[in-house]
Homo-oligomer: A and B are copies of this chain.
Amino acid sequence: MGEFDLIARHFAPLAGPGARGLKDDVAERAGEVITKDVLVEGVHFLPTDPIDLVARKALRANMSDVIAKGAQPTSYLLGLVCPKALGPEAIATFAAGLKVEHDLFGLSLLGGDTTAGPVLMISITMFGKPGPRGVIGRDGAQAGDAIMVTGSIGDGLLGLEAARANPPADDPAALPYRVPNISWSVHEVIAQYAKGSLDVSDGLVADAGHLAKTSGVGIQIKADSVPLSPWGYEARAAGRLAELLTGGDDYQALFTIDPSDIDHVQSRALKELRVTRIGTVTSDLMPGQVQVIAEDGRETPIRIAGWDHFGSS
């Protein structure tokens, strides 16, 4: 049973006001958005990843959810589970990693809990201030919308490979896995223009599927329009496009807008960040269906596996 089925079956009946039926990545409370992402050693980061970068990744994984809802991350609670072998220097380095993100993004720590455990685990609860239209959910995509994505896709996967192959900290190809290159300032663009939105953390195709399913629409992605990094172009030339489109840990925003807003979004966004149109929302497909079209106009068969921590298929 996958994570989404588990949540739907057992936890959704427990959800209260503000929980959005557990169908989104955030809750709403007292005019704020709240998200909670847990990162576990060996699952979301490698034991060899530098601990200051692990701290930064934990904050960015949560900021990514907040940003994709058109909200500005403000503050957070930290639950830290540490192996006893981890010394005070490691804790100091971890805190220094948090401080880097505080200085970059104006975050502050609200409180939390530290305890011992078998592996390093970081549980963040992050608060954000939504824009004037409130939370931009997964449920707002409509047929005819343009599908936009920030940054580049596939670098999380390639970064994981680099981090595994070459654990020392200074491999630049590993950095997008260790410190996801979130597109912080897109939260204002999303707040103003987006109709449906979420972050890409399970893989582009899987997350497009979540958007499509919750909005009750189909999504068509043009494979050759998906933005890639130099590493991504190399991997694509090696025939690995399908892997890039389904790999996890990208932490980019995926959102839909009215096609008449594309120029506004891009002229505003291009100054500070990369926003690319990669496809169209359509009613010609089954609700929840994602179709990836190759350069030659034919459908690329892609198994929507994505990054499902409970996946058994």
Interface residues of A (CB under 8 A from B): 1, 3, 6-7, 9-11, 13-20, 22, 24, 26-27, 29-32, 34-38, 40, 42-44, 75, 77-82, 84, 88, 91-92, 94-95, 98-99, 102, 107-119, 121, 123, 125, 127, 309-310
Contacts and interface: CB of A to CB of B under 8 A. Distances in A.
A108 B36 contact: no
Complex copy number for this chain = 2
B77 A109 contact: no
Contact of A110 (B29, B84, B98, B110): B29
A114 B34 contact: no
Contacts of A107: 16
17 contacts: A6-B114, A10-B94, A14-B108, A15-B108, A19-B111, A22-B109, A24-B111, A27-B111, A29-B30, A34-B77, A36-B79, A36-B123, A40-B116, A42-B117, A43-B116, A115-B309, A125-B125
Contact of A92 (B10, B15, B109): B10
A22 B10 CA distance: 34
Contacts of A37: 79, 113
Contacts of A7: 114
A148 to B, nearest CB: 25
A309 B111 contact: no
A31 B123 CA distance: 23
B309 A116 contact: yes
A7 B43 CA distance: 26
A34 B110 CA distance: 9
A113 to B, nearest CB: 5
